[in-house]
A and B are shown apart, each in its own frame.
Chain A
Amino acid sequence: MTPAVEVSAVAKGFTLHNQSGVQVNVLDDAKLTVAPGECVALGGASGSGKSTLLRLLAGNYLATEGSVRIAGTELVGAHPRTITALRRDTVGYVSQFLRVVPRVPAREVVAEPLLAAGTARDDAEAAAETLLARLNLPRPLWDLSPTTFSGGEQQRVNVARGFINAYPVLLLDEPTASLDAANRAVVLSMIEEAKARGAAIVGIFHDADARSSVCDRVVDVSAFTPADRR
Chain B
Amino acid sequence: MTPLLDVSGLTKRYGSRIGCRDVSLDLIPGEVLGIVGESGSGKTTGLNCIASHLSPDAGRITYRGHDLIAMPEPERRRLMRAEWAFVHQNPADGLRMNVTAGGNVGERLMESGARHYGNIRGAASAWLERVEIDPARIDDRPTTFSGGMRQRLQIARALVTNPRIVLMDEPTGGLDVSVQARLLDLLKKLVHDMGLAAIVVTHDMGVVRLMADRLIVMKDGQVVEQGLTDQVLDDPQDAYSQLLVSSVLPV
Contact = CB atoms under 8 A, between A and B. Distances in A.
Interface stretch (B8-16, B44-52, B148-156, B233-241): B233-241
A101 B227 CA distance: 22
A117 to B, nearest CB: 12
Which of A14, A61, A102, A104 neighbours the largest number of chain B CB atoms within 10 Å of its CB?
A102
Contacts of A80: 213-214, 227-228, 231
B235 A84 contact: no
Nearest to B230: A60
Contacts of B185: 101, 103-104
A185 interface: no
Main secondary structure of the interface of A (DSSP, over half): loop
A100 interface: yes
A62 B237 contact: yes
Contact of A84 (B182, B228, B239): B228
Nearest to A58: B230
A165 B209 CA distance: 22
Nearest to B231: A60
Contact of B246 (A18, A81, A102): A18
B192 interface: yes
Interface in A59-109: 59-62, 80-81, 83-84, 99-104
Contacts of A104: 185
Interface in B177-215: 181-182, 184-185, 188, 192, 209-210, 213-214
Nearest to B247: A18
A101 B181 contact: yes
Given A99-B209, A101-B184, A101-B210, A83 B242 contact: no
Contacts of B28: 81
A184 interface: no
Contact of B235 (A61, A101, A103): A61
A83 B228 contact: yes
Interface in A36-65: 55, 59-62
A62 B235 CA distance: 7
Given A84-B228, A99-B210, A100-B210, A60 B181 contact: no
Contacts of A81: 28, 31, 213-214
Interface string B31-71: 10000000000000000000000000000000000000000
Nearest to B181: A102
B249 interface: no
A101 B177 CA distance: 11
B248 interface: no
A17 interface: yes
B182 A103 contact: yes
A121 to B, nearest CB: 9
B213 A84 contact: yes
10 contacts: A18-B239, A18-B246, A60-B234, A61-B231, A62-B227, A80-B214, A83-B228, A84-B213, A103-B184, A103-B185
6 A-B pairs closest in CB distance: A17-B239, A80-B228, A102-B181, A61-B235, A103-B185, A101-B185
Interface of A: 14-18, 55, 59-62, 80-81, 83-84, 99-104, 115
